[in-house]
Each structure stands twice: as C-alpha cells, then as structure tokens.
Amino acid sequence: MQQLLDRFIESRGWTGDWAIELVYFLGMLFFAVALLLVVVTPFTGIVSWAERRIAARMQSRVGPNRVGPQGILQWAADGLKCILKEDLIPEDADRILFTAAPYLVFCGLFGAFAVLPFSEHLVIADLDAGAFYVMAITSLVPLGIIMSGWASNNKWSLLGGMRSAAQIISYEIPAALSLLAVVLAAGTLSLQGIIRAQGWSPADWFLFRNPFLFTGFFYFFVANLAEGNRTPFDLPEAESELVAGYSTEYSGMRFAFFMLAEWANLYVVASVVNVAFLGGWNVPPIAEGVVLTILQMVVFAAKSLVLVFVIIWVRWTLPRLRVDQMMLLCWKYLVPLSFLNVLGTAVWMMIVPEGSAAGRVASWLLVLVGLSLSGLFGLRVRKNLKDADVGRLYLNPFS
Amino acid sequence: MLFDLANVVVFLAVALGFVWATLLASRLIQPRAPGGDKGLTYECGELPVGAGRIQFNFRFYILALIFLVFEVEIAFVFPVAVVFREWLESGRAATAFAEIFLFIGILFLGLVYLWRKGELSWHKEEPEAEDVPSVR
C-alpha cells in the first residue's frame, strides 16, 4: 500500500514533507473507509443472507427470498430496520459498559481486516508481527462480550457472557499453538511472509507440509469455530438455554453490530486459516501485472469463501455440545495434541530438510490422504442421500 | 513498518467512527417513547426476580487463571519459533530445538499437573470425606 501511495506522489511530482504526509494520511483513511463500506459491510450482509438461505436449504425450507433477486438484499432491509428501531438500555444496566461493548466487538473484528491480504501487493498493512496482531486484536471481542454480559444486568446475559469468555479464552490456546507450528515452518510472523513460504501447488501448502501440520489444520479450524461462537460451540447464544446470551438486552443498531461482528468473523477466520494452511493467494506463474493481481484475489477469495461455506455447513449439520464436553474437548484433547504438534513440527523440520526428496514424497502422500478422506466423505454422503429418499425431501431452493 | 502501524491506528479510528456515526444516525431517526416496562430486563416475560448479577460457577475464574499462564508463555515461545528456521539453516538446530523443547516441556508439565489435580474437568470430583460415618 505504501508503494501505491509513493507511486501516486511521484506521478504528481509533489515534494515537501507535509504534502507527502497528508497524502499518506488521506490515502490510509480512504483505504480504510473504502474497505469498510465496499468490502466488509456488504460482505457480512451477503454472508448473513447466504447463511440463512443455506440453512433453509438444508432444512427443506425456503428462507429469505423476497427483497431483491433471491432475497440477496435482505441484509440491507435488516440494517435499515435496525437503524429505525428504538435503542433500549435497561434501567438497571451499567450504561457506560453497555454502550461501550459494541464498539469493542466491532473494532476487534474490523481491526483484523487491516492485515488480511487480498493479493501479493494488495494488503492494507503488512505488519511483521501480523499473525500475532490478529490474535491480539480479535481478543477485544471476548472483552466486549463479557462487558455486554455484565452490563446488561440480566441473568441470561451474564451467563452467556461468562460462557463465551471462558470458551474463547480456552480455545485460544490450541489456536495459538497450531499457529505456532505454522510460524515454526514459515520462519516469520508476517501473514504475507507465511503465504510466500508456501507455493501454489497443494503439495507446497502448509496443510500438506508434514503430518503434524496436517492434523494441526483441524485443531486450528475447530478452535477457530469455537472462538467464533459457532455451532457446535454456540453455547454462549444457545437459544434454548440462554435466550440470546450476551446480546439479550440489546436492540436496534447496537444489536446489529454484534451480528455484524459475528458474520465478519466468519471471513476473518476463513482468511486466517487460508493464509496459514491453504497457500493464500499463491497462483501458478502464468500471468503478470494486473492480471496476476486479479488472479490472486480470485484464488484467495475462492479459498476463503469455500471455508466460509464449510463453517456454515458445519453449523447447520452438527448439534450443540454440552459445556463440560466443550471444555473436555479443548483442554484434554486439543491442547495436549497441539503441544505435540509444535514439537513434532520442529522435529520434522530437523530430520526432513525442506525441499528434500523425502519431504516432497511425504507432501504428496499427504495430498493423497487428504483426497482419499474427501473421497470417502463424498461416498458416505452419496450413500446417505440414497438412503434418505431425497425425492420426498426435495425442495427447489430457487423457487 | 511505521507506516503500517499508523495504518492500523487509522483503521481502528475508522471503526470507532463508523460505530459512533451509525449509532448517532440511528438516534436521530428512531422513535423514542421511554417509560412503561421497557426498562426491565428480560426474564422469560415475568418480572425479574432479584439482582441480575447472580453468582456464577467458580470454574470460570480458575479457567481464566490457567488461560493467562498458558497464553503468556505461548507468547514467549513465538520469538523462538520465528528464528527457528534461520538457526536450522545455520546449523544450530540442536540448540534451537532444546530451547523450544524445554519451554514447551515445562508448559506441558504444567498441563499434566492441572490434569492430575482435576482442574481441567468442568465437574471437579471432590474427594469423599472419610470421617463421615456411613448411614447403614
């Protein structure tokens, strides 16, 4: 981004410190606002629509299909409705904390977008501690959630906030450890650097680099599901137990910000998994210049969107865990296993040097394992569909 | 680098400004009719009973403590992890691995200790009191 602004300044022939500083500042402001208004808000809106449509399809319902073609503008209608609603604050609530919580939740997620890359040269801020920054800034979210839970002065909110905070901080450990294994293999914390350490072919991805990183991917993905409060870990907002969890007392636009953050989180999670394990924007060297950038953007977005779809799919497939099962899964399985992962990755890097023949063979073997796992899954789905008499269940999703 | 950091700060400022502006816009156009039972907190449609800030499970507190220890120590491993590759290439693999192993090993021992103490289970099994005479 700095290069872009530098080129702009050069093309105008501007000199003098103040002019350059001003261009820098205005440029950054422009990029931030543009990203917010053009990418984040419409994207989260459309994801919220897509999730409802997919959920409806999976449950043989129709879902929102009235506003715009196939209901794709439903999010705009929802946003408008939320703005027009009266914003209530309970009489006994802690007003300061109650109003501050949406700010924290939204900042925590929007801040993460600053370091997420879109292509090789298209990144707002390529921090050299990028992976660390993402972990740190998204930690604002549990803070906001626990503040909202406490401030609402409502029993459901308090319990929801507590559960949410406990869950997010617990799963932070396996997530951080899995990321640690990636950092070991990449030798850098910068998200762009991590992507550059991988290649375009699946065998060069960290997912298939060695068996430990392969399993680490699943720990990281599950831990991130839990951190995003998604089913099967949606205990904080378990409708049947806690009404709406920490957001029970919120209404109007404040409530909308919690929802916005939840869906923005989907993209953040998918992108970070993509960067860390799936090779990010790496494409085969077949193009140059603008075409290359566009190709990279498409590849990165495609991988992320597939992951977003998987997250939605998981949510509408699996039932919710119990709170003790969730803690058991985290502390007694994921944490020890991801500890072993870090050590295993270090040992693997020592005995199988990078780029050696043995390493290549292992990578391709892991690719085969991955392919056969998905193949088995596909066969299983086919068998289930056959058994389930789809003809009776079928409902045209585009009706 | 400084440019990137400034960028992040601008980003957070924009996020704050966006939330503030939207809430302000909402405040200007929304209907306001305070009063009635709107100010009460929701408790399944009944009048709320007692204070909202009830006692909650003590385990949340212990969990937060455990988290703090682990997270801080993991944060300390990250710098070693970053230079691990360089050290490997310059032939200091044994030193680098020993350092990581020591750190992770101690952390892992802590986990084993917590596990043995039963602090990782949501329902901690209390040792049965032995001096209570059995009722038979």
pLDDT in tens, A355-370: 788 878 888 888 888 8
Q: Is B56 helix (H, G, I), strand (E, B) or coil?
A: coil
Residues in A 204-243 with any Cβ partner in B closer than 8 A: 243
Of A40, A239, A253, A329, which to mutate for an interface test with B (greatest number of B Cβ within 10 Å)? A253
Residue of B4, B18, B108 with shortest CB distance to A125: B4
A34 and A129 part of one domain? no
Of A86, A138, A156, which to mutate for an interface test with B (greatest number of B Cβ within 10 Å)? A86
Q: How far is B133 from chain A (nearest CA, A)?
A: 32
A60 and A167 part of one domain? no
Calpha distance B124→A183 (Å, rounded): 36
A347 and A357 part of one domain? no
**Helix, strand, coil percent values for chain B (each to nearest 5):** 65, 0, 35
Residue of B nearest to A343 (CA): B101
The DSSP element (H or E) to which B58 belongs, if any, is: none
> Hey, how many other C-beta atoms are within 10 angstroms of the C-beta on A327?
21
Closest to B52 measured CA to CA, from A209, A394, A374, A94: A94
Residue A104 lies in a domain: yes
Instruction: Examine residue B31 and say whether the peptide bond preceding it is cis (omega within 30 degrees of 0).
Output: no
* Residues whose CB falls within 8 Å of the CB of residue A109, separated by 6 or more in sequence, listed in order: A138, A141, A261, A264, A265, A268
Query: With the CA atoms of A51, A53, A55 and A60 taken in that order, what torsion angle do they form, in degrees rounded to the nearest 10?
Result: 180
**Cross-chain Cβ contact A155/B54 below 8 Å:** yes
Residue A201 lies in a domain: yes
Q: Which residues in chain A come in under a pLDDT of 50? A: 397-399
Residue of A nearest to B93 (CA): A350
Could you tell me the two tokens for B122?
């949501």
* Residues whose CB falls within 8 Å of the CB of residue A31, separated by 6 or more in sequence, listed in order: A1, A124, B7
Q: Helices H, strands E: what count in chain B?
A: 3, 0
pLDDT at B6 over 50: yes
A244 and A153 part of one domain? yes
pLDDT digits (tens, 9 = 90+) for A94-141: 888 888 888 888 888 888 888 888 877 777 777 888 888 888 888 888
* Residues whose CB falls within 8 Å of the CB of residue A45, separated by 6 or more in sequence, listed in order: A75, A76, A78, A79, A263
Calpha distance A24→A14 (Å, rounded): 12
**Cross-chain Cβ contact A36/B108 below 8 Å:** no
Could you tell me the two tokens for A234?
């949606």
Mean pLDDT of B12-36: 84
pLDDT at B48 over 50: yes
pTM score: 0.85
Calpha distance A195→A338 (Å, rounded): 21
Count of structural domains, chain A = 3
A177 and A91 part of one domain? yes
Calpha distance B95→B88 (Å, rounded): 9
User: How many CA atoms lie less than 13 Å away from A328 in the CB half-sphere?
Assistant: 9
What's the pLDDT score for residue A372? Answer: 92
pLDDT at B130 over 80: no
A339 and A358 part of one domain? no
Number of Cβ pairs < 8 A linking chain A and chain B: 223
A374 and A241 part of one domain? no
What values do phi and psi take at A206, rounded to 5?
Answer: -70, -25
pLDDT at B129 over 60: no
> Hey, how many other C-beta atoms are within 10 angstroms of the C-beta on A133?
22
Residue A338 near residue A219, CB atoms below 8 Å: yes
**Cross-chain Cβ contact B63/A166 below 8 Å:** yes
What's the pLDDT score for residue A138? Answer: 85
A194 and A323 part of one domain? yes
A52 and A21 part of one domain? yes
Residue A392 lies in a domain: no
Only one residue has tokens 């404040």, namely: A254
Residue A44 lies in a domain: yes
Calpha distance A366→A202 (Å, rounded): 10
The DSSP element (H or E) to which A161 belongs, if any, is: helix A155-186
Residue A128 lies in a domain: yes
Q: Answer with the one of A84, A100, A122 that is the final residue of a domain.
A: A84
Residue A395 lies in a domain: no
Residue B126: pLDDT band by 50, 70, 90 thresholds?
A: low
Only one residue has tokens 């699943």, namely: A218
Mean pLDDT of B59-69: 84
What's the pLDDT score for residue A376? Answer: 92
Residue A396 lies in a domain: no
The DSSP element (H or E) to which B4 belongs, if any, is: helix B2-29
Q: Name the range with the highest mean pLDDT among A366-380, B4-18, B49-63.
A: A366-380
Mean pLDDT of B2-6: 72
A132 and A191 part of one domain? yes
Q: What angle do CA A29, A33, A35 make, to 5 degrees?
A: 115
A39 and A188 part of one domain? no
Could you tell me the two tokens for A362?
């292992």
| Residue A210 burial (10 A CB sphere; 0-12, 13-18, 19+) | buried
Q: Answer with the one of A84, A101, A118 that is the final residue of a domain.
A: A84
Residue of B nearest to A244 (CA): B42
Give the sign of the dihedral formed by CA A333, CA A334, CA A337, CA A343: negative
> Hey, how many other C-beta atoms are within 10 angstroms of the C-beta on A236?
26
Closest to B72 measured CA to CA, from B110, B20, B126: B110
Could you tell me the two tokens for A179?
């990321």
Closest to A225 measured CA to CA, from A308, A140, A118, A297: A308
Return the amino acid letter for A230.
R
Q: Is A179 helix (H, G, I), strand (E, B) or coil?
A: helix
Asked if A132 reaches chain B (Cβ–Cβ under 8 Å), the answer is yes
Only one residue has tokens 């899964």, namely: A329
Could you tell me the two tokens for B69?
């220890």
Residue A373: domain span: 353-387
Residue A394 lies in a domain: no
Calpha distance A136→A175 (Å, rounded): 12
Closest to A157 measured CA to CA, from A238, A233, A229: A238
Closest to A259 measured CA to CA, from A276, A241, A245, A280: A245
Q: How far is A297 from chain B (nearest CA, A)?
A: 21
Of A4, A155, A258, which to mutate for an interface test with B (greatest number of B Cβ within 10 Å)? A155
Only one residue has tokens 């020592």, namely: A350
Q: Answer with the one of A84, A106, A121 that is the final residue of a domain.
A: A84
Residue of A nearest to B86 (CA): A187
Asked if A300 reaches chain B (Cβ–Cβ under 8 Å), the answer is no
With a pLDDT cut of 90, the percent of chain B lying above it is: 0
**CA dist A270 to A241, A263, A303, B123, B129, Å?**
28, 11, 8, 33, 50
A27 and A153 part of one domain? no
What's the pLDDT score for residue A399? Answer: 44
